[in-house]
Every structure is written in C-alpha cells, then in structure tokens.
Amino acid sequence: MRMKTIALPRLNNLSPTLESTALKLMEEAGELSEAIGKFRALSGEKTRLDAREVAGAISRELLDVAQTAVTMMFVLEEESGIDVDAALKAHVEKLIRKGYLKLDPAPADAGGSDADGPSIDA
C-alpha cells in the first residue's frame, strides 16, 4: 500500500491542552477551507494569486491541520496514556474493514508463512 509518512515535531514552546488544541484544529480547518475556497473562487472575490500560489497556500494550511492533529496526539499520549501507535494500527484496520483501503496482494513468489494473505504489518 502507498503511504505518505510525515514526521512533525512535538512543540516545546507551548502548553497545549486537549481543549486548546481542539479549538486550534477547528481554526486551522477553517483556514484550509478558506484557502480551498480561493482556489475555487467560491467567495466571488477576485484573487490575485495564481493557481500555483493558491495550491501552496492550501498545502501550508493542510500542514497546519496536520501539525495541530499531531500536537493533539502528543497531548492525548501525555495526559491520557493513549498509545497512538496502537490507535494507528486500529485505524488502518478500520479503513480495511470499511472498504476504503485494499491491501496489495502478496507477491506469488514471496514464500514464507503468509498463507492467510496480506498483512498490514508487512
């Protein structure tokens, strides 16, 4: 399966809480939505940015959303002892169960003991 791996830092000059991070996540989602709206010219305003500049703005806001989500994961781990790695595994299993993700078939010559088919641990 294709993966996009993004490593984002734990911010060490802030004291985020679950509540402050949730509000920040909504703020950043709003900024992302606004950037996409500019791309589609949904507001009716004439934007002076060309398509590439707008796509750059979208990617910056998307990374703000991702950073805030990762910050919330750190808060959850530190305040509630949540094992994000275990939650991630359960998340991928959910995607498979719901049919959003289909695992690549195992290569025919793979051999080994993977008789039950592909594994998400591979």
Residue ranges binding Mg ion (CB under 5 A): 28, 31, 61, 64
Give the residue at shortest CB distance from Mg ion.
64
Q: Min. distance of Cβ 61 from Mg ion in angstroms? A: 5
Nearer to Mg ion, 28 or 75 (CB): 28
**Other beta carbons less than 10 A from residue 36's beta carbon:** 16
Provide, rounded to whole angstroms, the least separation between the CB of residue 40 and Mg ion.
Answer: 18
- In angstroms, the CA 58 to CA 77 distance is 29
Q: Which is nearer to Mg ion, 47 or 67 (CB)?
A: 67
> What is 41-94 written as a DSSP string?
TTT-PPP-S-HHHHHHHHHHHHHHHHHHHHHHHHHHHHHH---HHHHHHHHHHH
**Which is closer to Mg ion, CB of 31 or CB of 77?**
31
Ramachandran area for residue 81 (φ above 0: left; ψ -120 to 50: alpha; else beta): left
Report the nearest approach of Mg ion to the CB of residue 29 (Å). Answer: 9
Q: With respect to Mg ion, which residue has the nearer C-beta, 62 or 96?
A: 62
CB 69, min distance to Mg ion, A: 13
Can you read off the two tokens belonging to residue 55? 């796509």
